[in-house]
Structures are given as C-alpha cells and as structure tokens.
Structure 1
Amino acid sequence: MAFQALTIAGSDSGGGAGIQADLKTFSALGVYGASVLTAITAQNTRTITAVKMLTPEIIRAQMGAVFDDLAIGAIKIGMLGGPDAICAVAEGLAACAVPAPVVLDPVMVSKSGDALLADDAVAVLRARMLPLADLLTPNLPEAARLLDTPEATDETQMREQGRALLALGPRAVLMKGGHASGAVCIDLLVTQDDVLQLSARRHPTRNTHGTGCTLSAAIAAGLARKMPLTAAVSMAHTYLQGAIEAADRLDIGHGHGPVHHFHKVWPNG
C-alpha cells in the first residue's frame, strides 16, 4: 500500500502555495496526497485578489469522505481563514478519530502581505487547533501573534516563545527563522525534552512563495512514511533548502515565485 497523507488548506490558483504546494511536496517525497479545501483564492506570485471561504458543511463532508476510505498516515493543516473553518476542522478530526499525526501550519499572512487569517480567528485557532497538533510550525510573526507578544529577535527568544507555545497544547513546536536576518537561517524544533537547531545558508532569491506550506507538507510526508518526528523535520528541512536553491530555475511569475518542488525530478528546469 502506498503511503498516504492529507492536506487541509486553501487553494492557490498560482500553484505555488496551499493545497497545490502540499500535493506537489507529497508527490515529490513518494507519498500519495489527498486534500480537503477550506478556501479558494484568486492568487498569483504578486497578490491575492479574492478569497472565497468554503462552508463548514462541505469542509466536514470532504474530511468524512477521505477518512471513510483512505488510510491516512499524516495530516497537514494550513490555511483555515476564519472561526467557522477552524471549528469545522476540529470537529471533523474529532468525529473521524483518525490516529494520524497532525502538522499544523498556522497560516496568517501570504508572501505578498495579504492577510489569510481574520483577527477574530486567532483566539479560536489557539483554543481549538493548537491542542490537536503533534507539531506546530509558526514563523516568527505567526508565533508572536499567537502569543500576543513582539517577534523574537534572537535564538534565545525563539526558544522562549517555542516553550510558551508548547504550553498551549501542541506536542512539539518548530520555530521557523526564515523571517529573521543574517546569512544563516536557523530553525528550532522545541519539544518538552529538547531543542534541536537546524541551520542553513540563506539563499539570495525572492522566489520563496510557499516555503511554509512546503516545509510542513514535507514533514507530514515524512511522518506518513513512519519516520520519527526529528527525522521527518530534518528530512523536510533538507528538502526545502534544495527546493529554494533551485527556485530561480523555474522563472514563474513576476513577483515572489514558487520554490522548485521537483528539483530532483526536473534537474534542469
């Protein structure tokens, strides 16, 4: 049987983030991907021009259909958009009672700067979704917003915020340092017992659309393949660095282009 993972997220019509990035990542890493859409966005590499949220009923129906038939080995959750969608996903997970690890990427703002999570949804996300997450993957602005505190500016503050987020219910937190400055990008995997540092050279490219989606989906793919969490995070980190390094070869759009999900499959394009 093929390894199987589910993404619950919004659609990106430009193909670089959201459901599309997740499914590409699953496929690139040898995992069959299923999907539950929470929203449809009219979006390209430069901006988002429209967002249509799907109803809680259709979100729950999609989840029920997937879980009723597929052997899902891991779940990645991305853009939820608002309180209704958050509650629908939380209720859907409870109703289906699938024993699969959950990777929660708390998507709040797009690469172009457009808001993807309403202000009134932050408290609901914190209360309903964080306790369901086996891994929470916030970038520095998202972590600060979840904690209602200023952004971390150094590794010590990243560790402190990671531990503060652990107290809200997730089993582990991956603090992503992509929004920080410096020649080296540092991520911290914070658990109850340890802190693992992952570092990489910062690549000089603006083609980083979908990096957060891709990283969380890659971790979910690793978990679906039965990898331990630390191994899944390390594998995903390496995969994403390769996708960013190869991003300029794609030459997609006129803004923040996507990373190259299939950099190992299309080595020259």
Structure 2
Amino acid sequence: MRKKVLTIAGSDSSGGAGIQADLKTFHQHGVYGISSLTTIVAMDPENDWAHNVFPMELSTVKEQLKTAMSLGIDAVKTGMLGSPGIIEHAGEVIKQNGIKDVVIDPVMVCKGTDDVLHPENLESLRESLVPHAKVTTPNLFEAAKLAGIRRIETVEQLEDVAKTIHELGAQNVLIKAGTLVDETKATDLLYDGQAFHYIQTEQFDTGNVHGAGCSYAAAITAELANGKDVIEAIKSAKAFITAAVKEGFPLNEYVGPVYQKGDANEIEVSVTTK
C-alpha cells in the first residue's frame, strides 16, 4: 500500500518552499502527501518581495490534524509552525498516534525577513517537538539557536552543537553545514549519538536555493516512510536535493527555487564517518 506522509507547515504563495515544496517532493518519492497548514506566507512584489506572514488559529490547525490522523499516517515532517500552541499540539499528536518516522525541520525565519523565532517558540521546539524527532534538520543558524549559542564558526563547534541537540532528545541530528567544512563541497553533519557522519556532494552555486531545506527534509521523510534506514534515507535525499539545486531557476528578480525533477542519479554522495 502506498505510504501516507503528513507535512505540518506553512504555505509559500510563490510555490517554492513550505507545504508546496513538501508535496512536490513527496510526489517525486512515490508517497501520498497530506498537509496541515499552519501559516500563509505572501510576498509583496511592490515592496522588494517583502514577506507577510498570516498565522492559522490553533483551533484550525487542530481540526486539520484530526482529519489527517484519521487517514492513518506513516510519517510526519514539520516545518514552520508559528506559535508555542501549534508546536506543542503537533508534539502531542505525534506522541498520541505513536508515529516513529518523524522529521523535524526547525524553521525559524522566512527567507527575505529578519524575523527570528520568538524565544517562547524556540523553547517549545526544544521541549515539545525535537524529542520526537527520528531526524532533525537544522541549518547552521537554527542549530546554533537550538543549542543556545550565537553562531557556529568551526567544525569543532559544529560537532559540539550536534551533541547538544542530540541531548534534547532527537535520535539523529543532521546539520546542514554548507561550505563550513569544505569550500568545494556541500556538507551535512549527521550525529546519531555514536558517531559523526559527514555527508558530501559537489557544491552547485546556482543561487537558486529557495525551498532547498524544506525539500531536503521532505525527501528524508518520504524515504523513511518507504522503509529506508536513516543513513540511506539521508543519502538518497542528499542526492535528490543536490540535483534540485543544480536545476534551480530564477522565478523572478527576487527568488530562485530549486526544481525537484533534477536527475539524482547523476549526483555522487560520499559519507565519511569518525
């Protein structure tokens, strides 16, 4: 039977990120995508593509999740959640329904804005959601915030932060480190509580990376639902998103999304464990 995968996230009206990116990615991986909408994000073409965020009421999110869970969910991915109430309720729903394949993408800002996640939301992420993660997928900024430090500037700090986030309860911590480790490679660090796995592909500096984080996390979620173990799911997703970045294109003068139909078979993924 086809696997059913839920995304709990925001809507990107430009189609590049959020729920739109998740559903496109689920489709490419042969799973059936289901969504619960937490926010609507619109962009103002008359004001340098400024982002306007319209949160959903908690009651509205609860009703959507009730619908989703009635369908029998195999895996869950979370993105932008927007309020402590939504974060905490998402954690409760995941726990109550015994969902094991959970990917937490701790989205903290909209690209194009300076709005950082409110401190109470950050604390809710740490306490109510990250402990349910089979995999959590922060970027460098998000990982630093989760670990309570200002920024990550060295490989030693990267590893220390991965350990700190693991101690919050996440089974596996995947930090999207970009070119921090190697300027010529796109590198992610996976920490599973036992070892550090450096996952690398060629770096494609296209500038068209809108939706990359959402699509990467969604691909991992789909591959877990399809039965792959964590390392294999991440390797497959890494090839997928690297190909999507390679095929990214400018949507307008402000933004360039990734394109989820790139040929992942052309991408070589290496894993170094220490």
Comparing both chains, which one has the higher relative contact order based on Cα–Cα distances under 8 Å and sequence gaps of 6 or more? 1
Corresponding letter in the other structure for 2:56? L
- CA deviations over 1:130-180 (Å, ceiling 9, x no partner): 111111111111111111213222322211110111011111100111274
Q: Once structures 1 and 2 are overlaid, which stretch shifts more, 237-246 or 108-117?
A: 108-117
- CA deviations over 1:182-219 (Å, ceiling 9, x no partner): 22221111001222111122212111011110110000
Relative to structure 1, the CA distance from residue 122 to residue 99 in structure 2 (aligned partners, 3 Å threshold; closer, same or farther) is closer
Does residue 57 of the first structure (1) align with residue 59 of the second (2)? yes
Does residue 235 of the first structure (1) align with residue 232 of the second (2)? no
**Separation in structure 2 between the aligned mates of residue 162 and residue 237 of structure 1, nearest angstrom:** 18
Asked if the contact 1:67/1:98 (under 8 Å) is kept, the reply is no
State the partner residue of 1:260. Answer: 259
Corresponding letter in the other structure for 1:135? V
Corresponding letter in the other structure for 1:200? T
Name structure 2 gaps, 5 residues minimum: 265-274
Corresponding letter in the other structure for 1:83? P
State the partner residue of 2:8. Answer: 8
Asked if the contact 1:188/1:198 (under 8 Å) is kept, the reply is yes
Q: TM-score, normalised by structure 1?
A: 0.91
- CA deviations over 1:57-108 (Å, ceiling 9, x no partner): 1212111111112x3221100001121211221232234x133311000001
Does residue 129 of the first structure (1) align with residue 119 of the second (2)? no
State the partner residue of 1:113. Answer: 113
Using the aligned pairs only, state the percent identity: 35
**Separation in structure 2 between the aligned mates of residue 191 and residue 80 of structure 1, nearest angstrom:** 25
- How is 1:1-269 mapped onto 2 (pairs within 5 angstroms)? 1-43=1-43, 47-69=49-71, 71-95=72-96, 97-115=97-115, 117-178=117-178, 180=180, 182-248=183-249, 251-264=250-263
User: What is the CA distance between 1:28 and its match in structure 2?
Assistant: 1.1
Asked if the contact 2:9/2:81 (under 8 Å) is kept, the reply is yes
Asked if the contact 1:60/1:92 (under 8 Å) is kept, the reply is no
Asked if the contact 1:81/1:116 (under 8 Å) is kept, the reply is no
Q: TM-score, normalised by structure 2?
A: 0.89
**Separation in structure 2 between the aligned mates of residue 18 and residue 44 of structure 1, nearest angstrom:** 17
**Separation in structure 2 between the aligned mates of residue 205 and residue 28 of structure 1, nearest angstrom:** 22
- Divergent runs of 4+, >4 A: none
Name structure 1 gaps, 5 residues minimum: none
**Separation in structure 1 between the aligned mates of residue 212 and residue 116 of structure 2, nearest angstrom:** 15
Q: CA RMSD in A?
A: 1.9
- CA deviations over 1:106-136 (Å, ceiling 9, x no partner): 0012222342632331111111111111111
**Separation in structure 2 between the aligned mates of residue 112 and residue 21 of structure 1, nearest angstrom:** 17
Question: Which secondary structure state, in structure 2, belongs to the residue aligned with residue 10 of structure 1?
Answer: strand
Q: Once structures 1 and 2 are overlaid, which stretch shifts more, 120-129 or 218-227?
A: 120-129
User: What is the CA distance between 1:48 and its match in structure 2?
Assistant: 4.2
**Count of residue pairs the alignment pairs up:** 261
